[in-house]
Amino acid sequence: MGQRLSGSRSCLHVPSWLLPQPQAPPPPVRRKLALLFAMLCIWLYMFLYSCAGSCAAAPGLLLLGSGSRAVHDPPALATGPDRAFPRLLFQTVPATPLAGQEKAEGATSQEEQSPEAPDSPSPISSFFSGSGSKQLPQAIIIGVKKGGTRALLEFLRVHPDVRAVGAEPHFFDRSYDKGLAWYRDLMPRTLDGQITMEKTPSYFVTREAPARISAMSKDTKLIVVVRDPVTRAISDYTQTLSKRPDIPTFESLTFKNRSTGLIDTSWSAIQIGIYAKHLEHWLRHFPLGQMLFVSGERLISDPAGELGRVQDFLGLKRIITDKHFYFNKTKGFPCLKKAEGSSKPHCLGKTKGRTHPDIDPEVVRRLREFYRPFNRKFYQMTGHDFGWD
């Protein structure tokens, strides 16, 4: 009836378009694969973020992130990049310097303006460097010069929830006319739950600083590192002497009249140590509970103990402990086993821990008598006896 094929040796040529074609995954499958990939990326991001906080409990692991603590609410002026800051009317009003500040004072030291940078940023720090937003500081180390402010800031920067500007901004004493936008731009980027900080020791003795900081935010937390005023004055003089070897002796600068024993309080090295006088100005704008007074002596003898108080004051989890420090016998003060963004031990620079010149013991005795009533008033105002007498 039809033509018969000639067995197995014969073959038919079938067009390729008649052959079965491989089928592409239906659109729903592709959507599911894309969704799975996106979820994997989000999970990886969240894992790195959460690990940054929890892993920081191990000594020296310096990761940026949110530790397991209650979120520190920033002040209303710094609630996010999309919220406009209220415009304040800034007048170019020069800050009032300490009387006689030019006496035995050189230009601002390079060590205060350009602190040593960490060796290199950690991988996680680099990962998050483009994240977050710049905020006005929620906490400021306002003083005092030669009290231990640099050490405190470097120790605090180990905490994963603290982000601090390295150099001293000097905004509230020298650059206030530049405005809050300029000031905020100096700050590092922070993630939700991290605290922005800065330190400028001269704020404590600047008359205009309390009102200016209060105008920025009444909720700003203030930290003051204080030290035996006699030792502090000698350290202040030692720093100036290292830059200006031709200045008069400490003894001649201390007295208006050596024979009468009248102390020259116009010399800034002496005036800074009258802590009670300066504190009065701050208490007109901030309640005492919003200020923390750190002992410069204890910061050397028990850095972990003082850092514990600071972390509590800032509402941070106690991550910085004694495991982070070792005592450097050569320098005579504690150093970090691993600094922020580095895997190496880190001590403050050679400009810190200078050897003090020998001072006439009689001059030291007269200075202690001079400071004693001011110290006792300071103890009463702060509710803490620092033991300088």
User: CA separation (Å) from 96 to 100, 161, 216, 337, 380?
Assistant: 11, 34, 19, 40, 27
Classify the phi-psi angles of 132: left when phi > 0, otherwise alpha if psi is within -120 to 50, otherwise beta. left
Is the Cα torsion angle 357, 99, 221, 168 positive or negative in sign? Answer: negative
Is 235 marked within a binding site? yes
> What whole-number distance in Å separates Cα of residue 338 and Cα of residue 160?
13
Is 354 marked within a binding site? yes
* Degrees, nearest 5: CA angle 165-157-162: 80
Is 212 marked within a binding site? no
Is 309 marked within a binding site? no
Is 13 marked within a binding site? no
> What whole-number distance in Å separates Cα of residue 63 and Cα of residue 152?
19
Is 175 marked within a binding site? no
The secondary structure of 191-246 as a DSSP string is -TT-EEEEE-GGGGG-TTHHHHHHHH-TT-EEEEEE--HHHHHHHHHHHHHHH-TT
Is 324 marked within a binding site? no
Residue with tokens 């901030």: 286
Beta bridge mates, 336: 325, 346
Beta bridge mates, 139: 197, 221
> What whole-number distance in Å separates Cα of residue 240 and Cα of residue 192?
41
CB atoms within 10 A of CB 254: 26
Is 149 marked within a binding site? yes
Is 321 marked within a binding site? no
Is 261 marked within a binding site? no
The pairing of strands 255-257 and 262-263 is antiparallel
Is 332 marked within a binding site? no
Is 148 marked within a binding site? yes
Residue 379 CA, chain-centre distance (Å), reads 26
The one catalytic residue among 145, 146, 199, 338: 146
Residue with tokens 């006699």: 230
User: Does the active-site annotation cover 146?
Assistant: yes
Q: Residue positions in the annotated binding site for 3'-phosphoadenylyl sulfate?
A: 146-150, 227, 235, 352-356
Binding-site entries: 146-150, 227, 235, 352-356
Kindly list the catalytic residues.
146
